[in-house]
Amino acid sequence: MKTHPDPLNDPRFAKLVARLRAQEGPEPSADFTERTLAQIKQVPAPRRSFTGIAARAAALALLLGAGLWLVRAPAPVRVAQQAPAPIDVLMAAQRADGGWSADARHSRPRYDVGVTALALLALMHVEATPLEGPRAFAIRSGLDHLLRCQGADGRFGEDFSGSGFTQYLAGMALRTAAQLPDADPAWKLAAARAEKHEPTGIQMAGLNGRLARPRAFPARWVDAGGPVTLAALQMLDR
């Protein structure tokens, strides 16, 4: 078997070997170790199956569909709830007998005459032709109710702490009605009977001031009279 001489010891390559040995050896870069370890630690990404890809695509389609529906769906319409007009409150609260109550539970009947008189004053105040307009029947019915509540001596209702104010309001309602064109003569007679029991001059001056400035009505009177009283005062304030 023929052997080949070692090139490193072959005289023919002596100069080449000497030149190679004279060169400096290669030095690795400073981050060579870190880059090598990082490549070793990398975990290959798992291969996605067709089933998983299809499921994700279906879920994405559902989300996109829901988003489009929310964008296109009309916004809910908010209807602003407006409080009823004061005159509507009065017309809805009038009883079948023509009167008005202090509250829906009728728990304060001693105030009903005063509340009825105040409601009539408010209606006659806002109507241009009270006995000819659309609420003429309501006004006449309320005045007839006052006549039935008046005693033979001209007084209204029972005797209690607010009877003076009740007498004042009922008398004012009858006097106002008596001055209307085509007024019922019975209203004039009732107003004359009520005038005998009016409060004193000083008290009348104070009560007239209250009626002339509805906003100055004491809160306790409004509370006692209920929603009808509040609606009537709002109408009188116009």
DSSP notation for 58-119: HHHHHHHHHHHHHHHSPPPPPPP-PPPPHHHHHHHH--TTS---SSTT---GGGHHHHHHHH
Q: Domain for residue 142, yes or no?
A: yes
With bands split at pLDDT 50, 70 and 90, how would you rate the model's confidence at 157? confident
pLDDT score, position 199: 72
Structure tokens at 133: 């307009």
Mean pLDDT value of segment 65-71: 49
**Per-residue confidence (pLDDT) for residue 143, from 0 to 100:** 97
Geometric angle at alpha carbon 158, from 156 and 164, rounded to 5°: 60
**88 vs 23, 49, 85, 226, CA distance in Å?**
112, 72, 5, 15
pLDDT at 218: 73
Whether 179 is in a domain gets the answer: yes
- What confidence tens digit (pLDDT) does each residue in 219-231 have? 777 777 888 888 9
Q: Among 87-96, 115-124, 224-233, which is the least confidently predicted range?
A: 224-233
The count of other CB atoms within 10 Å of the CB of residue 140 is: 17
Domain-located, residue 63? no
68 located within any domain: no
Q: What is the mean pLDDT of the chain?
A: 78
pLDDT above 90 coverage of the chain, percent: 33
Domain presence at residue 8? no
DSSP assigned state of 129: S
Domain hosting residue 146, numbered range: 86-236
Of the given ranges (37-41, 64-68, 73-77, 97-101), which has the lowest mean pLDDT?
64-68
Higher pLDDT, 183 or 221: 183
Residue 49: inside a domain? no
In angstroms, rounded to a whole number, what is the distance separating the alpha carbons of residues 98 and 140? 8
Q: How many domains does the chain have?
A: 1
Task: Give the whole-angstrom CA distance, residue 24 versus residue 194.
Answer: 133
Burial of 102 (0-12, 13-18, 19+ CB in 10 A): buried
* Average pLDDT rounded to a whole number, residues 52-71: 53
Q: Is the pLDDT of residue 64 over 60?
A: no
Most confident stretch, 2-6, 44-48, 72-76, 140-144: 140-144
pLDDT at 124: 96
| 103 close to 229: Cβ distance less than 8 angstroms | no
Could you tell me if residue 154 is inside a domain? yes
Q: Which one is predicted more confidently, 73 or 189? A: 189
Single-letter amino acid, residue 9: N
pLDDT at 141 over 80: yes
DSSP state of 183: -
Looking at per-residue pLDDT, the higher value among 167 and 76 belongs to: 167
Report yes or no on 6 lying in a domain.
Answer: no
Q: What percent of the chain has pLDDT over 70?
A: 66
- Output phi, psi for 209, to 5 deg: -65, -40
Residue 171 in contact with residue 157, Cβ under 8 Å? no
**pLDDT of 17:** 67
